[in-house]
């Protein structure tokens, strides 16, 4: 599938911001099953745009505006050719040992409820690791409802599990926390998802998990959709949790109240050209 992404993040400040520094993790890498055709990062104002690679191997950019500003739009756009690999990852950049991904973070720290939940899968974790992870995926998808407006970027896995509500970020944190309890290295993935229902204008990017399965390697699991990753997924960045793989994080001096508006379109490249 050739997927076309147009993602614009617009900031408006009530007062001119004296300085703005943004870190972007919004550029995909090539690996087996994913080939980046064209991809660009375009700030709307003059400034310094620098590219670097973080400790996870993610392609990142920093942007620092040259002058005070009242608004800023960060646009990323491009095309990615994807293939369905049944969720199996190969050819990815791996900068860290797999045991690193057993570490818990504030966002993925399990409470007693999550520990009890994960314990229900302990019996088969050693004998049937892939089946165990698929069962875990199915339970989370069935028991935690996808619902916007109940959580935010600081919501922990434990908080979302207590509500049995959340968005893709929350369901991913819960799967990552549970998989680690079962002894599987697991990580958070940010990216884009091409919806099969024809909806191309989306409110935000997507998130899913990857877990290391003995004998198979890293496998992608999308708890929001209850599936392994497919050619509908565009993989952008990885981390221990959302904060390490967040699409944009930044800081500023001045500016007063900030208003944020996100415009995201994920479509097939062919239909984009016909439109």
Per-residue pLDDT of the chain (275 residues; tens, 9 = 90+): 999 999 999 999 999 998 899 999 999 999 999 999 999 999 999 999 999 999 999 999 999 999 999 999 999 999 999 999 999 999 999 999 999 999 999 999 999 999 999 999 999 999 999 999 999 999 999 999 999 999 999 999 999 999 999 999 999 999 999 999 999 999 999 999 999 999 999 999 999 999 999 999 999 999 999 999 999 999 999 999 999 999 999 999 898 899 999 999 999 986 444 44
Helix (H, G, I), strand (E, B) or coil at 187: strand
Q: What is the pLDDT of residue 170?
A: 98
Q: What is the pLDDT of residue 41?
A: 97
Same domain for 152 and 236?
yes
Count of domains observed in the chain = 2
Which is nearest to 62 in space by CA: 26, 108, 114?
26
Q: What is the pLDDT of residue 272?
A: 45
Domain CATH for 234: 3.10.620.30
Same domain for 63 and 139?
no
Q: Which runs of E-coded beta strand occur in 130-200?
A: 145-146, 165-166, 186-193
Q: What is the pLDDT of residue 157?
A: 98
Q: What is the pLDDT of residue 269?
A: 82
Q: What is the pLDDT of residue 270?
A: 67
Same domain for 232 and 258?
no
Q: What is the pLDDT of residue 171?
A: 98
Q: Which runs of E-coded beta strand occur in 105-257?
A: 145-146, 165-166, 186-193, 201-202, 206-213, 217-222, 227-228, 233-239, 248-254
Domain CATH for 58: 2.60.40.2250
Range of the domain at 33: 2-82+247-266
Question: Residue 79 pairs with which residues in a beta bridge?
Answer: 4, 38
Sign for the CA dihedral angle at 207, 212, 217, 223 comes to: negative
CA distance linking residue 23 with residue 246, whole number of Å: 9
Same domain for 106 and 203?
yes
Same domain for 143 and 239?
yes
pTM: 0.95
């Amino acid at each position: 599938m050739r997927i076309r992404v147009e993602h614009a993040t617009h900031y408006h400040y009530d007062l001119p911001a004296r300085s703005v520094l943004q870190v972007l993790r919004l550029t995909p890498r090539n690996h087996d099953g994913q080939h980046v055709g064209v991809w660009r990062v375009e700030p709307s104002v003059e400034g310094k745009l620098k590219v670097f690679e973080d400790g996870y191997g993610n392609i990142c950019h920093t942007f620092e505006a040259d002058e005070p500003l009242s608004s800023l739009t960060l646009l990323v756009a491009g095309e990615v050719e994807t293939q369905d690999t049944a969720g199996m990852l190969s050819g990815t950049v791996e900068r860290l040992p797999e045991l690193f991904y057993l570490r818990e973070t504030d966002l993925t720290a399990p409470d007693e409820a999550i520990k009890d939940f994960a314990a229900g899968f302990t019996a088969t974790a050693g004998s049937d690791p892939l089946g165990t992870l698929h069962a875990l995926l199915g339970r989370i998808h069935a028991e935690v409802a996808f619902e916007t407006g109940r959580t935010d970027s600081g919501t922990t896995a434990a908080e979302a599990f207590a509500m049995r509500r959340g968005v893709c970020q929350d369901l991913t944190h819960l799967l990552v926390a549970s998989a680690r309890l079962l002894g599987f290295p697991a990580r958070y993935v940010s990216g884009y998802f091409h919806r099969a229902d024809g909806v191309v204008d989306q409110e935000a990017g997507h998130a899913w998990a990857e877990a290391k399965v003995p004998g198979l390697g890293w496998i992608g699991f999308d708890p929001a959709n209850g599936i392994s990753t497919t050619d509908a997924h565009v993989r952008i960045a990885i981390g221990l949790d959302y904060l390490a793989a967040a699409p944009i994080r930044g800081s500023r001096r001045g500016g007063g109240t900030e208003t944020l508006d996100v415009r995201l379109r994920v479509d097939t490249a062919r239909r984009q050209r016909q439109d």
